[in-house]
Chain A
Amino acid sequence: MATLSKLNRRDFLKMTGLGSAGLALQTTVSQSAYGAFALSTQKAAARQAVALNIFVHIAANNRVTIMAHRSEMGQGIRTSLPQIVADELDADWDKIDILQAQADEKYGDQNTDGSNSVRNFFQPMRVMGASAKLMLRQAAAATWQVPLESCIAKDHRVTHSPSGKSLSYGELAQAAAKLPLPDAKLLSFKNPQEFKYIGKPMAMADFADIVRGTTSFGIDTKIPDMVYASIERSPILGGKVKSFDASKALLIPGVIQAVKLDGGIEPAGFNPLAGVAIIATNTWAAMEGRKALSVTWANNPAHAKFDSRAAISKLISAPVTEAKTVATRGDIAQAFASAAQTYEATYSLPHLEHATMEPPAATAKVTATSCEVWACVQDPMTARKLIADMLGFKLEQVTVNITLLGGGFGRKSKPDFVAEAVVLAKAIGKPVKVTWTREDTTRHGYYHAFSVQHYNAALDAKHQIIGLDSSVASPSIISLFKPDTGYMQDWELGQGFTSHVYKIPHFRARNIPVIAHTRIGWVRSVYNSNHAFALNSFMDEIARSNKIDPLQYHLDSLPADEPNDGKPTTEKSDFAYSPLRLKNAIKAVQKTSGWPATVKASEGWGFATHRSFESYVAVASKVSLANNELRVLEVHISIDCGQILNPDRVHAQMEGSVIFGLSAALMGEISFKEGAAEQSSFHDYPMLRISQSPKIVVTLISSDKKHSGAGEPGMPPVGASITNAIVAAGGPRIRDLPIKNHLKIG
């Protein structure tokens, strides 16, 4: 399937007349209220393309265009959501074009994170397809003067069943577009057995372009008169430019000028960082100019002494003070008083950076009355609002074109790089493309929070946990937006720290405050990966120290029935949590891995499980350990994410999550010294390579439950499955990630 060329996209948008005055388009799709959508009946003269609703446009030549309003970063959403529309529309998949929507409130929430797209847009997309189909049938009925019931839509045509007369969707589109919005009560939806595309492993719409190198990512944008920028930013958060000397930089051929960026005030939010931009006629000249630039920084003393390893060590050894109790159940003191045995351990994980393969990149063009940007953004609405606020514009004056994203993982939800392009374009009066280097990306990230977690368990005579006393210290994402108190937010704690389903009668969870000294962001699975690592390590330690099979220990620690289905597990968790679905996920990897498999002396299996984004995941991994060198041999992963829209993309997300989780656990560490990140590129912040990639076995558990997340939930259990396997292979218990600080990575 061809995607429209860039020029055609713009023309097409003009032609459809979407968003022009007079169309009462409302803001939210999530209520799936039919009335939230009004129709554009404007004709597109040149190609006779008409919009039956804001997601479905049909041209006279029978091509159907479906708008993709969420950002594509490899998860396949530009394909998956249109699959739903096309199915309910009874369209022919080969006659469909997918068009990336610009940032616009009329599409509803476009913030592509939190593994939310399918969770929130399944039903609205069905409404879009079904309503367009009904309008086509109504148009046919009117044309032939026959009852609606006799007009059957199938395979891109409407047929009058008694006479056999038929018209293609393209032939009916003009008439259909003139019809009023059908009454929501008249819509009928397919039975799941009738689905033609939903639940099928459709190939991603962009495959053909990707393998030819003809896609457009944010970094690929080129517009007339554009210049190129590379920015030297303050290495320490909150630093300002004291002085700079660009005289040598200006001697480099291609360098045009240097521009100082003042940077925003704290909290950092998505404001541009302070720095000096070199503007040039090409990217390389801009980067070379930076090398010749000298900048003196006025550091922010609040952050200039930050040493992340020292901070983590101190939290590991420090007694719990200032802790705030964030969840409690039963009587924790009583549990320890009656314990047959206790077990205690502390775990830590470092800061991480997203390391998207495509570094952040954005192009901006600013005039006195308008701003247009092209950027790889996960959250185009936030980018649009940020730009409008910066320029004092109304939202309508700002156009955000969403390119493909060369990886997102949460980094591209933060539009600081777009803001930089806007500031520069305004300052120099020319369109500017800002391209981050790998070093910029590594050193100026929105980092995954480090975490120190302490667990103390009271066990009964059968080694079951009767009391669990836990604490966590981890900088909060809220520090990006508000003065930092050091305490975490409820939803952060709820990602597996205050919320789990094990039958532990006495429970206390506390939060120790820790101030952020860098920009803390959300990285794939967010706090889940930290909390899953500690709890799964801890349960493994208890099981092994009591000679219990660790996987069996998880099964035995889960409630026998479903007491929590639909009810909160603890005070701070507000979602349904099914022990049965978790058990099924565990049993799935038990089966594929042959657990408890016998292995050679230097090999071992490890297990971990976690529920996040409403999906249930279990992982069993096999490692070998020879001469202190670790190799990951096999990773078995299972997921129950409810009904599956595109099994191939969920499968791919599981493979990707395993590899992402391995990079983090084995080698991932961003450390800070004197306030600045110590790592810079792939040599000191390495990513898993194909030679290190294990055999991955994925099990998708079919389920009739509501759709739940797929992009993130695969990652959290991966780390502990490896450290647990290392112990099984005769290696050390690693409580502090990454593993490379303890073992050689093969």
Chain B
Amino acid sequence: MNKVKINGVEHPIDADPNMPLLWVLRDLLNMTGTKFGCGKGLCGACTIHLNGLPVRSCLMPLAAAFGAEITTIEGLSANGDHPLQQAWIAHKVPQCGYCQSGQLMSAAALLKNNPTPSDAEIKDAMSGNICRCGTYPRIEAAIKSVAGVQIHQPATKSKGAI
């Protein structure tokens, strides 16, 4: 059986290799932090990290995850204390919260690869994530407050512990 490593844990998965990772996570593994918004790569609600890069899991087939490292919102930090998660609370970013997993995963990938982004780089990196509630001003402020702050690697659980 194929295995997929998610948040540091290997999961054996028996499913069609074409099944998008989004539905593998949500329906097969019951990890519902990653959200469905469009299924077409248009909204960013389903953003996860594949080998540290932000990808839309609604378009990413399961097969693409074989041998790769997947990080989801549930694994962004060990205790929900990633600097961005803290900044999101400090800036009171969320409204309904539905888009926020995807927003955080996009922002975390941005800062990991570019710790001091310009305003234009922030807008550019975040423009694939729709927030219908209109939390953009606070998302921008929260990211700026963390930009330049040392960010640790996502904490991972010990191998095999599910």
Contact = CB atoms under 8 A, between A and B. Distances in A.
Interface in A212-229: 212-217, 219-220, 222, 228
A311 interface: no
B86 to A, nearest CB: 8
Given A74-B133, A207-B89, A215-B97, A689 B127 contact: yes
Interface of A: 72-76, 201, 203-204, 206-208, 210-217, 219-220, 222, 228, 253-254, 282-284, 287, 355-359, 404-409, 435, 437-438, 648, 652, 655-660, 663, 681-683, 687-691, 693, 695-696
Interface centre among A208, A648, A683, A693 (most CB of B within 10 A): A693
B52 interface: no
Contacts of A211: 80, 85, 88-89, 94, 100, 104
Contacts of A404: 96-97
B123 A682 contact: no
B74 A214 contact: yes
Given A73-B96, A211-B104, 5 more contacts: A213-B74, A220-B32, A438-B39, A652-B92, A691-B127
Interface in B15-50: 16, 19-20, 22-23, 26-28, 30, 32-40, 42-43, 45
A657 B132 CA distance: 10
A75 B126 CA distance: 23
Contacts, number: 179
A683 B39 CA distance: 12
23 contacts: A76-B95, A203-B89, A206-B97, A210-B97, A211-B88, A212-B85, A213-B73, A217-B35, A220-B26, A228-B27, A253-B16, A284-B20, A287-B39, A355-B132, A356-B98, A357-B37, A406-B99, A648-B92, A688-B134, A689-B130, A690-B127, A690-B136, A690-B140
Contact of B88 (A207, A437, A438, A681): A207
Contacts of B124: 691
Nearest to B103: A690
B9 interface: no
B144 to A, nearest CB: 13
Interface string B130-157: 1111111111100000000000000000
A558 B46 CA distance: 49
Contact of A683 (B42, B92, B95): B42
Nearest to A219: B36
B98 A407 contact: yes
Contacts of A219: 32, 35-36
Nearest to B37: A357
B68 to A, nearest CB: 20
Contacts of B94: 74, 204, 206-207, 210-211
Nearest to A220: B32
Contacts of B130: 357, 682, 687, 689
A435 B39 CA distance: 12
B92 A406 contact: no
The 5 lowest CB-CB distance pairs between A and B, nearest first, are A213-B33, A406-B98, A659-B134, A74-B95, A74-B96
B7 to A, nearest CB: 11
A214 B76 CA distance: 12
Interface in B94-119: 94-101, 104
A283 B23 contact: yes
Contacts of A659: 131, 133-134, 136
Contacts of B80: 208, 211-212
Interface string B34-72: 111111101101000000000000000000000000001
Contacts of B35: 217, 219, 357-358, 406
A212 B98 contact: no
B72 to A, nearest CB: 7
A359 B95 CA distance: 16
A213 B34 contact: yes
Nearest to A222: B30
A663 B134 CA distance: 10
A226 to B, nearest CB: 10
Contacts of B72: 213
A646 to B, nearest CB: 10
Contacts of B32: 213, 216, 219-220, 222
Given A73-B96, A407-B96, A652-B135, A357 B74 contact: no
B34 A357 contact: no
Contacts of A359: 36-37
Contacts of A216: 32
Contact of B135 (A73, A213, A220, A656): A656
Nearest to A692: B127
Contacts of B92: 201, 203-204, 207, 648, 652
A683 B137 CA distance: 23
A357 B39 contact: no
Contacts of A214: 33, 74
A6 B137 CA distance: 33
B20 to A, nearest CB: 6
Nearest to A207: B89
Nearest to A356: B132
Interface centre among B16, B33, B97, B104 (most CB of A within 10 A): B97
Contacts of B19: 282, 284
A53 B34 CA distance: 38
Nearest to B16: A253
A283 B123 CA distance: 32
Contacts of B38: 438, 681-682
Given A213-B74, A437-B39, A681-B40, A75 B132 contact: no
A76 B23 CA distance: 29
Given A207-B92, A358-B98, A406-B96, A682 B137 contact: no
B162 to A, nearest CB: 17
A72 B97 CA distance: 10
Nearest to A436: B36
Contacts of A658: 134
Contacts of A254: 16
Contacts of B36: 219, 283, 359, 435
Nearest to B79: A212
B73 A682 contact: no
A545 to B, nearest CB: 34
A213 B85 CA distance: 11
A357 B135 contact: no
Contacts of A408: 96
A201 to B, nearest CB: 8
